[in-house]
Every structure is written in structure tokens, then in C-alpha cells.
Amino acid sequence: HTSHGSVKLVWQRSRLFDKEATTTFFKLIETDVGLRCEDVVVTPAKRVRPNPMNTVELLKSASKVLGIGPHETMRAAEQLYLSGCVSYPRTESTAYPTSFDVMATVAVHRGSPLAGVASYVTELLRDGYVKPRAGHDAGDHPPITPVAMARDLQAGSVGFRIYDLIVRHFLASVSPDAQFENSKIHFVSEPSMERFYVSSTREIDPGFLKIFLNYTPPGSSGNWHGNGDDESSDGKEENFTEVHGVPEFEKGQVYRMTNLRVKQGQTTAPGYLTESELISKMEKFGIGTDASIPTR
């Protein structure tokens, strides 16, 4: 407990499966005089922009973000292709050809009716795009790209939502990485010397996430759409507990404990695979192709 309020800490031992041992530790910590801040570790981190979109990524994103199944997604994407709005939607490649004109394709959406897209494109054209990630060239067709502005789609229709998804993914793929700052504060109880910690995330620059669907900044409810990679400054993935609004702690300072409790729980079996996860597994183990996955 600090002058700024209370913070829920995580016990370093995580879980114990022995009730007697747990009770012993609980009674030991109950007699402690406080928690000393042992260390404050601040690490820059980033969420990397997505690769250009291939068919499997389209199917996964449509299912996960929009709740639209593979068969319906491909039917809508093919209609968008026939209408001249997007490139050929059946492709395994996630690498643009060297001749691809990124700036011209971005400029196509300067007057887009999609929410927030026109202003984002104006910023991207002003500040300059970021070179797309290398991706994988499967030697078939280029990644799925919005090549024209779709004006006649009915708002809320499947075609409109799939087109919106493709546009935002394309813009995200040529946008800056998102920058964050992870903090992990370590505590030790005195005199029992049991260790606790709390971790938090602070947004520095949302980068490409500003244009993604369903994105809300840290501290708000919502999800990040897409499969961007989370990387720390040394390239290793960080797995921080999403705790926000954590007050500043001073190394060496002792803080008061205000609430201790033992929670009983039980292990549970893993849940069922989502449709998006199933598609990922099919891709990983070579089950089906970009053409056959929607029909399986």
C-alpha cells in the first residue's frame, strides 16, 4: 500500500499444492513488518508490424476479429477481387515484389470512407511509410492488397468488413512498430524474505496499432488484432502481466501490506481450439492448402 493506493502483487512462488505448506507461509508473511522494494526494472519493448497478408492470415484474422468463417470470408474476398478492389485473394506469399509501389497504393486510400483511415493515410504519406517486413515469397501470387477504394459496399455487410480488414492490415504492414515500456518491480517481505513482484506496461507510441481493428491502449478493455510479435530491446519476447496505473516505487523503500489472503483453486483442462487456432494448426502441419482450408 502506497500513498497513491493499493497494488496487487504476485507471489514469486506462484502456486503451492500443499495446503499445510501454504498455511505456514501465510502465517509467516502475516507477521512481516512490510515489503521492501528490491529492484525496479524498466525495459523498452515493441510490437512488430505484421507481415503482408496471405490467404491463411486473412482466414485467421477474419475468424478471430470479425467472427466470419473461412468459407464466407473467401467468398467475400473473391467478390472483392472480381470488383477490382483487392488483389488475388488466394496466395501463400507474405512478401511484396520488388516492383510493388507502396506509396501509390497507400495514396489510393487518401479519401477512404472507412473510419479513421483517411486521416491515418494522410499522416503516413506525410511522415513516410516503413519498409514492409521481408516475409516469404512462395512464388505464386503477391500478398493480398487493397488496390482500389471500394465505395459501393453496404456498411456492415460481410464484404465491407472483409475489405476494411484487408485495408487496415495493409496499412499496418507499412507502418512503424508499436513502442512500449515494460516495468517489473520486485519486493521482498521483511523479515521472512518472501519475494513478490508486479509488472506493468506503458504505451510510448502505438505505431501501426492505431489503424488496427479492436485496438485500445493499455489500461482499457479490448484486444489487439493481428499476429504482431512482442519483442523487448534484446529481441526476446516478454510476457508481462497486463497491470496498468501502477504508481512509482522507490528502490529500498518499505511499503505496508494491507490485505493478505489464501486462494484455493484447481487445475482445468485446456479449452477447445478456436477456428483461428485450428487454421494455424492446419497451416503448421501442412493440412490442406490456402484453397482447400475454407472447405474443410
Q: In the structure, what pLDDT confidence band is assigned to residue 233 with cuts at 50, 70 and 90?
A: very low
Q: In the structure, what pLDDT confidence band is assigned to residue 209 with cuts at 50, 70 and 90?
A: very high
Partners of 5 in the β-ladder: 2
Q: Percent of the chain scored above 90 by pLDDT?
A: 64
Residue-wise pLDDT tens digits, 53-108 = 999 999 999 999 999 999 999 999 999 999 999 999 999 999 999 999 999 999 99
Residue 24 has pLDDT above 70, yes or no: yes
More confident residue, 169 or 6: 169
Q: According to the model, what pLDDT value does residue 152 have?
A: 86
Residue 239 has pLDDT above 70, yes or no: no
Residue-wise pLDDT tens digits, 158-195 = 999 999 999 999 999 999 999 999 999 999 999 999 99
Residue 240 has pLDDT above 50, yes or no: no
Task: Kindly report the average pLDDT of the chain as a whole number.
Answer: 86
* Cβ 296 vs Cβ 282: under 8 Å: yes
Q: According to the model, what pLDDT value does residue 241 have?
A: 42
Which is catalytic among the residues 81, 88, 129, 197?
88
pLDDT (mean) for 199-217: 81
Partners of 188 in the β-ladder: 36, 195
**Is residue 96 annotated as part of the catalytic site, yes or no?**
no
Q: In the structure, what pLDDT confidence band is assigned to residue 214 with cuts at 50, 70 and 90?
A: low
Residue 236 has pLDDT above 70, yes or no: no
Q: In the structure, what pLDDT confidence band is assigned to residue 215 with cuts at 50, 70 and 90?
A: low
Question: In 10 A of CB 69, how many CB atoms?
Answer: 14
Residue 225 has pLDDT above 70, yes or no: no
Which residue pairs, CB below 8 angstroms and at least 24 apart, start in 290-295?
A: 290/54, 290/55, 290/56, 290/90, 290/91, 290/92, 291/55, 291/90, 293/55, 293/56, 293/59, 293/70, 294/59, 294/69, 294/70, 294/71, 294/73, 294/74, 295/71
Q: According to the model, what pLDDT value does residue 289 have?
A: 72
pLDDT (mean) for 135-163: 93
Question: Of 6-10, 231-235, 241-245, where does mean pLDDT reach its minimum?
Answer: 231-235
